[in-house]
Chain A
Amino acid sequence: MKPESFIPLLLALMLSPLLPGVINRTKALFAGRRGPPLLQIYFDLWKLLHKGAVYSRTTTWIFRAGPMLGLAAVLTAAMLVPLGNFPALIAFPADFLLFAGLLGLMRFFTVLAALDTGSSFEGMGASREVFFSALAEPALLVALATLARQAGSYSLSTLLGQVAGGHWLHLGPVLALVMIALMIVLLAENARIPVDDPNTHLELTMIHEVMVLDHGGPDFAFIVYGAALKLWLLAALVVGMVVPATGAPGLDLALVMGGMFAVAVVVGVVESVMARLRLAMVPQLLVGAGALAAAAFLLGLK
């Protein structure tokens, strides 16, 4: 376990709340507003952690455990994801399966916590969440399968690095397709436009936000932080595909961070220029992502 393999984890823990800030800033820019400060999420977290809590009488321990389980899962997932060519803390063949599994676990309990309130709105959100992520799952794994075949290795830490180095030259189209697929998955998994609108004000149209309506205080802090981490990790996957290893650690780090924020900006741009899709259209988008990844795989067969 090399020391630099702690870097991804630490960066994730520290900087992940920054990404939403960047996204919001970008959107504000497009909208011609000043927008919230970059560190807004940190402030929110701080405030929430110092609050008490209100629980519905309907709820049970599931409701209270949900946020903890979710956060624990995503934190564990953070140990599996490399950052650029800084390997992850835990790396082994097909570790992305555990990664996907942990995200699934997080979702599972968030959804249960939502259902625990007995509110029909949260039920609605939960239903959409599980359904869309069920469609996003194949896209993610097929994309990774394509990368694995190209890189000939099955561990995130190695395969992303190898893909980033070299393969782009002779496999440009394939990797482009994979990357688009991953981006769509990222948007869907993190409840961003065009799949979900994080700052709408009508519960009926929300997915992620409506699920956590009843949470408050430290629980909600866990949720917010978990969401930020999740965004960070998926962004790290995308970035890892493109940022090559230069050999100079400092430069690498700079590149990677740049990449991360670039992704955040892209998300922000997308959110500014696109409207949210009709819910009925979302499945087509996600299946489309899967199709792109599969096409990439087949093209890569040669």
Chain B
Amino acid sequence: MGLLFAMAILLLGAMAVLALSRPDRNVSWLGAGSVVIASVLGCVPVIQVLSGGSIEAVRVPWPVPYGEFFLVLDPLAAWFLFPTLLLSALSAIYGVGYLRVWQGRRSLGPVWFFYCVLVLGMMLVLLARNAVLFLFAWELMAVASFFLVTFEYEREAVREAGWIYFVATHLGTAFLLVFFLLTARETGSMDFTVWAEKGIQTRGLADILFLLAIVGFGTKAGFMPFHVWLPEAHPAAPSHVSALMSGVMIKTGIYGLLRSLTFLGLPPLWWGWLLIGIGLTSGVLGVLFALAQHDLKRLLAYHSVENIGIIALGIGVGLLGVSTGSPVLMVVGFGGGLLHVLNHALFKGLLFFGAGAVLQGTGTHEIDHLGGLLKRMPWTAATFLIGAVAISGLPPLNGFVSEFLIFLGAFQGGATLGAAGAVPLLALIAGLALIGGLAAACFTKAFGVVFLGEPRTEHASHTHETGWAMRLPMLLLAAGCALIGLFAPFVVGALQAVLENTTGLRREVVRVNLAAAAGPLALVVIGTVAFLLLLVALFLLRRGLLAGRRVEQGVTWGCGYVQPTARMQYTASSFVQPVTTLFRWLLGTHRRLQRPEGIMPANASLTTETPDLCHGNLYRPGFLKVNWGLSQLRRLQRGPVQLYVLYIAVTLIVLLAWKFR
């Protein structure tokens, strides 16, 4: 089984990197190499299974309580494994270039060690079919990613971020523990396959389990309001790690949710509603907070929340389909969600790579300090643009395809279902449309302010294009986004196996419904082709027209103002000001304004920041309260030994009074 080899290689690579690590030695290629080889090896069985090949399984006894080394590669796992392996390899290559600046200042052994462990952990999570093994891998993944996030632990902000991430993910795991153990009690086994066969029969328990799974897996995936760690951790981490975490690691939460849905039997309607509600909350709030950010990577992090919301919407549609017994909704909903998992992995990885390149070139995340980078970093700019169009869900790229499926499901459900199904779907349509529009707004802002116009500060004016190690992964991902857009029907066809596996529908049913969804996409592709041809035509036309005419260079029309400076350009904050003012009540943006005073105003300034909703208003106060409450109890250990002996006496008396009858 190729995947076992892959894991073995990763393990060896991790060990080797750690062993050979010296501050002055470059171990990057060793680490990256092992990851790449592992990914290539792993992809073979994955693609086989996705193309309807036989499901592979490995069972080896594992001498720990309730544990068994039980791996199964079924289509669902394969579907998530594919982007995981792909992005792991690309991020590794990118990382080689990205980490070069640390060469000599810091031993790179640990970071590559944990990178390998992280990839290994993700693979194990997706393959494990034994509860103990799953949790084991799950925590392994969390720990490894934590150490990657705190790579630059000298910076206070990074430590804070890492701390929040670690605590959040660990608390999420607590819910998973309960979820798994309750299921185990119900089914008397630790075995996912057994769980899937027996299923949870008692309604109430299933509901509880569903909620537990939502919280536990949602924390990792970044559902509002459990998302707090994302906007902290992603900016803190090295960019290739941010790409990996945001692109695929958080998807393990989605995977876990889908996997646990296969245990929980027939869902009631409200499960679908809940997921659509969560999806809308995460989507809309995610994109709104993204709009309000000035930090490029933080902005991207909030967009991960948004896209996770879109995936949740897809799953929600699918669930409604299950509970209303409509196969088309199941296929289109789950299909759209699953496809978006892949797409988001591609364009979010791409965007984080771009952000990393900008960071490395200019040394800042601050959008408002940048500008005009397109002239200096043409490749980065072009690929980032593609990513931006894709994530905004615009044709002809991949983001449009998955959102198209989800919309399709929503429209069909909205047209056929009764009120109980149609109303949530209407909300979904409105919400998803709004999300799309705001996402476009957000990325016109991001791309426009960072790459277009004139440099706003020194940071932006002295910078350079990145090396090939970082450029290549970006180009490949950009190509991926375009290809999925162009070959949408085939990609959708590839969902066949995984959808049978997820929905449990018969092959024929899935095939028919998929075809029903692929048909429109085929025409979308035709439209796309027409669009491209027209583009070429117009290009030629324009060239022909301008040929031999006067084409001059001038200055931008400043509406009569004679001395425009770069600092007069519209900034990111001013660009989104209409949104932030409209949603002020929600965003709670802090403005610090120093008004210009006097006839000759010396200095004036306006700074805004938008802290996270839940983190600021929910979690931090909560923790402080708890801490205060506990500190009241610390009086118990006051010092005098008499008191301590008194405790003994009291305990004795209490025990006697309680038990001695």
User: A: which residues have CB within 8 A of B?
Assistant: 49-60, 62, 68-69, 71-73, 75-76, 79-80, 90-95, 97-98, 100-102, 104-105, 107-108, 111-112, 115-124, 126-128, 130-131, 133-138, 140-142, 145, 148-149, 152, 154, 203, 213-214, 217-219, 222, 279, 283, 290, 294, 297-298, 301
24 contacts between A and B (CB under 8 A): A53-B546, A55-B551, A56-B554, A58-B372, A60-B375, A68-B539, A90-B530, A93-B520, A98-B404, A108-B392, A115-B449, A115-B570, A117-B557, A127-B445, A133-B437, A135-B437, A141-B407, A145-B410, A145-B411, A149-B415, A217-B546, A218-B542, A218-B545, A301-B422
Q: How far is the CA of A283 from the CA of B577 in the complex (A)?
A: 13
Q: Tell which of B84-92, B197-205, B357-365, B426-434 binds the partner.
A: B426-434
Write out the residue numbers on chain B whose beta carbons fall within 8 Å of the beta carbon of A297: 414, 422, 426
Query: By the criterion CB–CB under 8 Å, are B535 and A68 in contact?
Result: yes
Q: How far is the CA of A264 from the CA of B542 in the complex (A)?
A: 30
Query: By the criterion CB–CB under 8 Å, are B434 and A101 in contact?
Result: no
Task: Check A49/B374 contact, CB under 8 A, given A72-B531, A98-B524.
Answer: no
Which residue of A98, A116, A119, A290 is within 8 Å of B395 (Cβ)? A98
Write out the residue numbers on chain B whose beta carbons fall within 8 Å of the beta carbon of A53: 546, 549, 551-552
15 additional A-B residue pairs with CB within 8 Å, beyond A68-B542, A97-B404, A142-B426: A50-B545, A53-B546, A53-B549, A55-B552, A62-B374, A72-B534, A94-B404, A98-B524, A104-B440, A107-B440, A108-B389, A120-B568, A128-B578, A145-B426, A213-B559
Write out the residue numbers on chain A whose beta carbons fall within 8 Å of the beta carbon of B570: 115, 120, 122-124, 126-127
Write out the residue numbers on chain A whose beta carbons fall within 8 Å of the beta carbon of B385: 62, 112
Write out the residue numbers on chain A whose beta carbons fall within 8 Å of the beta carbon of B519: 92-93
User: Top 6 A-B pairs ranked by shortest CB distance?
Assistant: A123-B570, A134-B437, A115-B448, A118-B453, A52-B549, A130-B441
Q: How far is the CA of A74 from the CA of B135 in the complex (A)?
A: 51
Q: Is B256 in contact with chain A by the CB < 8 A criterion?
A: no
Q: Which of A53, A134, A148, A214 has the most CB of B within 10 A?
A: A134
Query: By the criterion CB–CB under 8 Å, are A134 and B557 in contact?
Result: no
Query: By the criterion CB–CB under 8 Å, are B578 and A131 in contact?
Result: yes
Task: Check A127/B575 contact, CB under 8 A, given A108-B444, A118-B566.
Answer: yes
Which residue of B374, B436, B445, B578 is within 8 Å of A104 (Cβ)? B436
Query: By the criterion CB–CB under 8 Å, are A301 and B577 in contact?
Result: no
Q: How far is the CA of A154 from the CA of B517 in the complex (A)?
A: 12
Q: Is B55 in contact with chain A by the CB < 8 A criterion?
A: no
Task: Check A118/B569 contact, CB under 8 A, given A53-B549, A214-B556, A294-B426.
Answer: yes
By beta carbon, the residue of chain B nearest A57 is B553
Would you give the shortest CB distance from A1 to chain B, in whole angstroms?
Answer: 11
Would you give the shortest CB distance from A72 to chain B, in whole angstroms?
Answer: 4
Would you give the shortest CB distance from A104 to chain B, in whole angstroms?
Answer: 5
Q: Is B538 in contact with chain A by the CB < 8 A criterion?
A: yes
Q: Which of B392, B422, B434, B570 has the most CB of A within 10 A?
A: B570
Query: By the criterion CB–CB under 8 Å, are A219 and B542 in contact?
Result: yes
Q: How large is the interface on B (under 10, 10 to 19, 20 to 34, 35 or more residues)?
A: 35 or more
Contact code string B508-539 (vs A, CB < 8 Å = 1, else 0): 00000000000110011011001110110011
Query: By the criterion CB–CB under 8 Å, are B582 and A95 in contact?
Result: no
Q: How far is the CA of A105 from the CA of B439 in the complex (A)?
A: 12
Query: By the criterion CB–CB under 8 Å, are B440 and A148 in contact?
Result: no
Would you give the shortest CB distance from B526 to chain A, in whole angstroms?
Answer: 6
Q: How far is the CA of A114 from the CA of B523 in the complex (A)?
A: 32
Which residue of A60, A90, A104 is within 8 Å of B527 (Cβ)? A90
Write out the residue numbers on chain A whose beta carbons fall within 8 Å of the beta carbon of B389: 105, 108
Query: By the criterion CB–CB under 8 Å, are A60 and B569 in contact?
Result: no
Write out the residue numbers on chain A whose beta carbons fall within 8 Å of the beta carbon of B555: 56-58
Query: By the criterion CB–CB under 8 Å, are A142 and B422 in contact?
Result: no
Query: By the criterion CB–CB under 8 Å, are B523 and A126 in contact?
Result: no
Which residue of B407, B411, B445, B545 is within 8 Å of A49 (Cβ)? B545
Q: How far is the CA of A229 from the CA of B551 in the complex (A)?
A: 27
Query: By the criterion CB–CB under 8 Å, are A117 and B546 in contact?
Result: no
By beta carbon, the residue of chain A nearest B431 is A138
Task: Count how many pairs of residues, one from A and one from B, have CB atoms less than 8 Å apart in the complex.
Answer: 253
Q: Is B643 in contact with chain A by the CB < 8 A criterion?
A: no
Q: Is B574 in contact with chain A by the CB < 8 A criterion?
A: yes
Would you give the shortest CB distance from A225 to chain B, in whole angstroms?
Answer: 11
Task: Check A90/B545 contact, CB under 8 A, given A131-B578, A154-B411.
Answer: no
Q: Is B438 in contact with chain A by the CB < 8 A criterion?
A: yes
Query: By the criterion CB–CB under 8 Å, are B552 and A94 in contact?
Result: no
Q: Which of B375, B436, B564, B578 has the most CB of A within 10 A?
A: B578
Q: How far is the CA of A169 from the CA of B373 in the complex (A)?
A: 59
Query: By the criterion CB–CB under 8 Å, are A120 and B569 in contact?
Result: yes
Would you give the shortest CB distance from B76 to chain A, in whole angstroms?
Answer: 27
Q: Is B393 in contact with chain A by the CB < 8 A criterion?
A: yes
Q: How far is the CA of A148 from the CA of B408 in the complex (A)?
A: 11
Q: Is B454 in contact with chain A by the CB < 8 A criterion?
A: yes
Query: By the criterion CB–CB under 8 Å, are A73 and B426 in contact?
Result: no
Query: By the criterion CB–CB under 8 Å, are A154 and B412 in contact?
Result: yes
Q: Is B400 in contact with chain A by the CB < 8 A criterion?
A: yes
By beta carbon, the residue of chain A nearest B287 is A134
Task: Check A130/B415 contact, CB under 8 A, given A68-B538, A112-B452, A120-B568.
Answer: no
Task: Check A123/B569 contact, CB under 8 A, given A56-B556, A142-B426.
Answer: yes
Would you give the shortest CB distance from B362 to chain A, in whole angstroms?
Answer: 17
Q: How far is the CA of A148 from the CA of B392 in the complex (A)?
A: 25
Contact code string B390-414 (vs A, CB < 8 Å = 1, else 0): 0011110000100010011011101
Write out the residue numbers on chain A whose beta carbons fall within 8 Å of the beta carbon of B419: 301
Write out the residue numbers on chain A whose beta carbons fall within 8 Å of the beta carbon of B436: 104, 134, 137
Q: How far is the CA of A298 from the CA of B422 in the complex (A)?
A: 9
Q: How far is the CA of A102 from the CA of B93 in the complex (A)?
A: 35
Q: How far is the CA of A214 from the CA of B445 in the complex (A)?
A: 19
Query: By the criterion CB–CB under 8 Å, are B444 and A112 in contact?
Result: yes
Query: By the criterion CB–CB under 8 Å, are A71 and B538 in contact?
Result: yes
Q: Is B640 in contact with chain A by the CB < 8 A criterion?
A: no
Write out the residue numbers on chain B whose beta carbons fall within 8 Å of the beta carbon of A119: 556-559, 564, 569
Write out the residue numbers on chain B whose beta carbons fall within 8 Å of the beta carbon of A148: 411, 414-415
Would you give the shortest CB distance from A289 to chain B, in whole angstroms?
Answer: 11
Query: By the criterion CB–CB under 8 Å, are B453 and A117 in contact?
Result: yes
Which residue of B433, B453, B527, B531 is within 8 Å of A137 (Cβ)? B433
Q: How far is the CA of A217 from the CA of B558 in the complex (A)?
A: 19
Would you give the shortest CB distance from A89 to chain B, in whole angstroms?
Answer: 9
Task: Check A79/B530 contact, CB under 8 A, given A56-B556, A112-B447, A131-B579.
Answer: yes
Query: By the criterion CB–CB under 8 Å, are B408 and A94 in contact?
Result: yes
Which residue of B372, B527, B541, B575 is within 8 Å of A123 (Cβ)? B575
By beta carbon, the residue of chain B nearest A136 is B437
Write out the residue numbers on chain A whose beta carbons fall within 8 Å of the beta carbon of B423: 298, 301
Query: By the criterion CB–CB under 8 Å, are A116 and B453 in contact?
Result: yes
Q: How far is the CA of A95 from the CA of B527 in the complex (A)?
A: 10
Write out the residue numbers on chain A whose beta carbons fall within 8 Å of the beta carbon of B449: 115
Task: Check A126/B434 contact, CB under 8 A, given A49-B545, A73-B531.
Answer: no
Q: Is B659 in contact with chain A by the CB < 8 A criterion?
A: no
Query: By the criterion CB–CB under 8 Å, are A142 and B440 in contact?
Result: no
Q: How far is the CA of A49 from the CA of B83 in the complex (A)?
A: 47
Which residue of B440, B448, B538 is within 8 Å of A116 (Cβ)? B448
Write out the residue numbers on chain A whose beta carbons fall within 8 Å of the beta carbon of B559: 119, 121, 203, 213
Write out the residue numbers on chain A whose beta carbons fall within 8 Å of the beta carbon of B437: 104, 130, 133-138
Which residue of B453, B539, B541, B552 is within 8 Å of A54 (Cβ)? B552
Which residue of A57, A124, A298 is within 8 Å of B554 (Cβ)? A57
| 8 A Cβ contacts from B583-620 to A | none
Q: Which of B440, B530, B551 has the most CB of A within 10 A?
A: B440
Would you give the shortest CB distance from A224 to chain B, in whole angstroms?
Answer: 14
Query: By the criterion CB–CB under 8 Å, are B440 and A94 in contact?
Result: no
